[in-house]
Amino acid sequence: MSDLAKEKAARLLKKRGSVSSLGSHEVRAFGRKKDSISTLSYMEEPGHHDDIPRPTVQMENTYRLTSVRRFPVITVKDILKDVLTSYLQEEKYEPELCRQMTKTISEVVKARVKDLMIPRYKFIVIISIGQIRDQNIRMGSRCLWDETRDNFSSHTFKNSSLFAAATVYGVYFE
Amino acid sequence: MDEDQSAEETTFVVDEITTVIKEAVESTIGNSSYQHSKISQWMSNIVESSLCQLTKLGKPFKYIVTCIILQKNGAGLHTASSCFWDNTTDGSCTVRWENKTIYCVVSVFGLAI
């Protein structure tokens, strides 16, 4: 048991170590090195915050024809609206602050969407925060998925010095 | 032999995808300067040709391709993504491309079926 605890501690330390080097353009995920990416995506191990190591659940394909509950677009949009306004209402654009903010907000939104407990759905949360400076920006996406079960929800927020765009994609695991 | 093959088929291979995306971006906006009128067309082209090429890879994945095109004028932009998925089979890849007047950031998320 102590060996397991030691291993977990070593893994956590290694994870923290690699996260702190995120200042350079590199993301390390469980020893699998990715090519240099300049948008910082913070990868968290599932069950990272638990003290008791939970066994990983392997989900198998189901024979159901449709999902039990569909992706709740409006609920998720409300969550996004809520989180963005509460975190960014009074903020001014600052490079360091916004860097941290994007990571924090994406984690918060992910946690809240997870709390909705929609079975067999995988989520992707994308947050972009930018400075307003008379420039033009265009964001677009296309998805190859199942039209009937997969969906997305997005919201944008703007104040005098910054703008934020948040999107959540929900994909059914059949 | 069969097992090895199936393992390769169902994991997200970052390098392959990066090459596909870079090609798509280069072919669409390779030598162009920022032009407001053409932006939506470029955006559709990049995203659709990336998705086309990805489907041609023939892997059992659902893909989400997002693209941000930004005019260069000194403003800052931060992007973060947080994903709740199966770490063993799903993955993402981001490609950043720039020239003198345009920044282009393309992200691909692949979720195993």
Query: What whole-number distance in Å separates Cα of residue A28 and Cα of residue A34?
Result: 7
Quick one: angle between helices B39-56 and B14-29, nearest 10?
A: 150
Mean pLDDT of A117-127: 90
* The CA-based dihedral angle spanning residues B66, B97, A42, A160, taken in that order and rounded to the nearest 10 degrees: -80
Cross-strand bridge partners of residue B91: B110
Select the residue from B39, B84, B85, B106 to test the A interface by mutation, using most A Cβ atoms within 10 A.
B84
What is the per-residue pLDDT for B30? 81
Beta-carbon separation of A93 and B68 below 8 A: no
Does A96 have pLDDT greater than 80? Answer: yes
Does B54 have pLDDT greater than 70? Answer: yes
Quick one: what percent of chain A has pLDDT higher than 70? 67
What is the per-residue pLDDT for A29? 37
| More reliable by pLDDT, A95 or A49 | A95
Chain B, residues 24-63, CB within 8 A of chain A, namely 34, 36, 39-40, 43-44, 47-48, 50-51, 54-55, 62-63
DSSP assignment of A25-44: S--EETTEEPPP-SS-----
What is the per-residue pLDDT for A31? 36
Chain A neighbors of B113, CB-CB under 8 A: 61, 173-174
Which residue in the set A93, A95, A142 is minimally distant from B51, CB to CB?
A142
Query: What whole-number distance in Å separates Cα of residue A28 and Cα of residue B32?
Result: 34
| Alpha carbon of B1: minimum distance to chain A alpha carbons (Å) | 23
Question: 0.80 exceeded by the pTM?
Answer: no
Q: How confident is the model at residue B36 (pLDDT cuts 50, 70, 90)?
A: confident
Q: What token pair was written down for B21?
A: 């995306």
Whether the Cβ atoms of residue B95 and residue B57 lie closer than 8 Å to each other: no
| More reliable by pLDDT, B106 or A28 | B106
Quick one: what percent of chain A has pLDDT higher than 90? 23
Q: How confident is the model at residue A6 (pLDDT cuts 50, 70, 90)?
A: low
Select the residue from A96, A104, A137 to test the B interface by mutation, using most B Cβ atoms within 10 A.
A137
When mean pLDDT is compared across A60-74, B30-44, B75-89, the lowest value belongs to A60-74
pLDDT tens-digit readout, A41-60: 455 444 444 455 666 667 77
Q: What burial class does residue A162 get, using C-beta atoms within 10 Å of its C-beta: 0-12 exposed, 13-18 middle, 19+ buried?
A: buried
